[in-house]
Amino acid sequence: QVQLVESGGGVVEPGGSLRLSCAASVSDSMYSFNNMGWYRQAPGQQRELVAKIRWNGNTDYLDSVRGRFTISKADAADTVYLQMGTLRPEDTAVYYCKAVYEYGVGVSMHDFWGQGTQVTVSS
C-alpha cells in the first residue's frame, strides 16, 4: 500500500509564501511512482488540480498559479513539494496531495490521497 503524509499548511498574509510537503510511504515494492499532484478545494467549490509532477519531471500547473507556485520532487524519495509564493486570498482552500502509482509493469494504476491541509491567506 501507499500512504501519504502532508505538511506545511497554515495562515499567511497576502503576498506571503508557504511550502507544502507530501511524503509517500510505500510498503509494497510492486508499486512504482507515476505522478503526484496537489489539488485544492475551497468551500462550495469543486476540487481542482493545482500542480502535478510526473515520473520524468514534467509538470502541469493551473493557469492562476503558474509563475507563483512551483512543484518539485526529491531525488531519492517519493516526496513532492509545492512552493507557493505571492499568495492571494483566493488561494485559500484545503490542499490535498494525490499520488498515482503503477502496480507491476502495466498491470494497473492506483490513486492515493492525503488527508488534506488547510491553507488560509488573509490579512
**pLDDT in 10s for each residue of the chain, 123 residues:** 899 999 999 999 999 999 999 999 999 999 999 999 999 999 999 999 999 999 999 999 999 999 999 999 998 789 999 999 999 999 999 999 999 999 998 789 999 999 999 999 999
Note the pLDDT of residue 84.
98
Question: Distance of alpha carbon 103 from its chain centroid, rounded?
Answer: 21
What does the pLDDT read at residue 52? 98
Query: Please, which residues have CB within 8 angstroms of residue 76's CB and are 6 or more apart in sequence?
Result: none
Q: Are strands 117-121 and 10-12 parallel, antiparallel or unpaired?
A: parallel
Rg over alpha carbons for the chain, rounded to the nearest Å, is 14
Four-point Cα dihedral 110, 111, 114, 116, nearest 10: -170
Which grid coordinates belong to 57?
519531471
